[in-house]
Structure 1
Amino acid sequence: MRIAVVVLVAASGAVETISFTALDHVFAGVMTSNLALLGMAIGRASGTGVTAALLALAGFGAGAAVVTWVTHGRADIGTHWPPRVMFCLVGEAVLLAVGAGFWAASGGPPGQTSRHVMQCGAAAAMGGQAAAMLAAGRAAAPTTYLTGTLATYIVRRLGSASAQPDRWVPVQLGALIAGAAAAMALRWAAPAWAGALPFALVTAATLTAASGPLLARRSAMDNPPEAK
């Protein structure tokens, strides 16, 4: 599951790059920044900026609400992601695939109306992903907003020896950078294909997460408990 989390973080980096640089200059998954951008847009009387920030906030909230409804908002305590979380990740992949199709049809960044729709859709995908990771409980970790993860890592690294930092945090931070870098490189080298990267990464993460229970089940079948 750790690898699946890392791949989802990379997907978030790719989505944020496309969202900020090619859509409406707001973030798809970092709502704290979007609230600040909304305030700045209001301060400079920028109607376009206000619309973009509100669409991102609305999309994120809608995505999180839908996933919360599907998963009933319960955090799982198992070692694998529950079926409802997997179902939500498949839904996210489908949403990103639709966005990638619009992007490819436009040959790159779309027009203003399509940008608004894609911005809202990207934010919905990130909101759904964030809620899905909360529902996955201990078997998951934040994948769309890592400020708290980084702060916790620093505190535990510099704090008492009894609170050891998560060794996967640097890997997650690196994945965020790698996902963003790959999306930007694709925007320059193959603009029509840049939108496909988030879909590919979320699909890869979902397949990776699904392989865990399958391997565990196969291992149990190959090594049945001895009869008493």
Structure 2
Amino acid sequence: MPHPRRSGREHPGTAGQAAVVLLAAASGAVDALAFAALGHVFAGVMTGNLALLGIALGGDRFADVVPPVLALAGFTAGTAAAARVCRVRTAARTPPGARWPVRTLACLACEAALLTCAAAVWAGCGAPPGGALRDVLLCAVAAAMGVQTGAMLGAGPAARPSTYLTGTLATFITRGVTGPPDDGGPGADRWVPVRLAALVVGAGAASAVLRGAPVAAAFLPPALVAAALLTALRPGGGRRVRTAASPGEA
């Protein structure tokens, strides 16, 4: 009787995990700056923005509708652009190992450039901008978060979410309580608490810099994304976990 073939589930190595941690910190920093200075909305947490949009529509201050709509529009455009560049539908074919696809790295480089341009405009204003310029920057940083999200999706199993972490937290809690799933997949990812902590630290750091040196605050996110990009370029020593193949593969 032939033995069933084995299939691999790819996991990012240490370098890939560390890069996602830095991206989570960048996401927290961008969200903190957007909420504090660009219209009291989030740049990367679209479920929160949808709730804020509903609150604005249900209230009597219809001007509050504009910021969440701009953030949603920017995030949608950024994600769509990254999805097209990274060819998200073929991300599952990512070869084993910790290195991310070249297209993912290119998207992250574009994100860093976009955030740097936004920071330059921010600094040129001498303080967080207002009026129409504030709306432009909000849309730009939301687009950058969309690019980051699409880039992580494009990396397939070689990466992890870095902007929306509610589902990640729920999965971590569930697998920590019940153990690995019946299909032999991995248990709770021990890097999840690190990514969540990085999100908090990034938001806290951005808030602190905004309070003490507002002109320089917007340069923190692109610096974190650049650090993540350099980290991802390092050999990470990815590993493969062997699991039983499905009946269709045997």
**TM-score, normalized by the shorter chain, greater than 0.5:** yes
CA distance in 1, matches of 2:189, 2:66: 38
| Residue of structure 2 equivalent to 1:63 | 78
1:104-124 alpha-carbon deviations (Å, 9 max, x no partner): 111221012111001101110
Aligned match of 1:96: 115
Name the structure 2 match of 1:197. Answer: 220
Which stretch shows the higher mean deviation, 89-98 or 163-172?
163-172
Aligned to 2:245: none
8 Å CA contact retained: 2:180, 2:188: no
Q: Measure the CA separation in 2 of the matches of 1:161 and 1:199.
A: 36
Please say if residues 23 and 119 of structure 1, whose CA atoms lie closer than 8 Å, have aligned partners that are also in contact: yes
1:107 equivalenced with 2:126 (yes/no) = yes
The amino acid that maps onto 1:7 is: L
Q: Matches of residues 1-228 of structure 1 in structure 2 within 5 Å?
A: 1-73=16-88, 74-75=90-91, 76-79=94-97, 80-160=99-179, 164-212=187-235
**Matching residue's letter, 1:193:** A
Does the 8 A contact of 1:77 with 1:136 survive in 2?
no
TM-score, normalisation: structure 1: 0.90
- Relative to structure 1, the CA distance from residue 160 to residue 210 in structure 2 (aligned partners, 3 Å threshold; closer, same or farther) is closer
Q: CA deviation at 1:45?
A: 3.3
Higher strand share: 2
Q: 1:67 to 1:161 in 2, by over 3 A?
A: closer
- Whether contact under 8 Å (1:67, 1:132) holds in the other structure is yes
Separation in 1, partners of 2:235, 2:124: 36
Taking the aligned partners of 1:116 and 1:161, their CA distance within structure 2 comes to 45
Shift of 1:71: 1.2
Q: How far apart are the structure 2 equivalents of 1:189 and 1:212?
A: 37
Report the alpha carbon displacement of residue 46 of structure 1 after superposing the two structures with TM: 2.4
Structure 1 residues 165 and 111: alpha-carbon distance in aligned structure 2, compared to 1, 3 A threshold: same
Task: Look up the match of 2:241.
Answer: none
TM-score, normalization by structure 2? 0.83
**2:179·2:188 contact (CA, 8 Å) conserved in 1?**
no
Query: Secondary structure of 2:179's partner?
Result: coil
Identity %: 52
2:155 counterpart SS class: helix
Does the 8 Å CA contact 2:108/2:229 hold for their aligned counterparts?
Answer: yes
Contact 1:59/1:121 (8 A) holds in 2: yes
Give 1:13 shift: 0.4
Distance (Å, rounded) in 2 between the aligned partners of 1:138 and 1:77: 9
Structure 1 unaligned residues grouped into runs of 5+? 217-228
Deviating 4+ runs (over 2 angstroms): 45-48, 76-79, 160-164
> Helix, strand or coil: the match of 1:12?
helix
Sort the Cα spacing of 1:132 and 1:161 in 2 relative to 1 into closer, same or farther, 3 A: closer
The structure with the largest helix share of the pair is 1
Higher RCO (Cα < 8 Å, 6 or more apart): 2
Kindly tell me the number of residue pairs found equivalent between the two proteins.
Answer: 215
State the alpha-carbon separation in 2 of the partners of residues 150 and 160 from structure 1.
15
| Cα separation, 1, equivalents of 2:35 and 2:141 | 11
Q: In the TM superposition, what is the alpha-carbon distance from 1:137 to its structure 2 partner?
A: 1.0
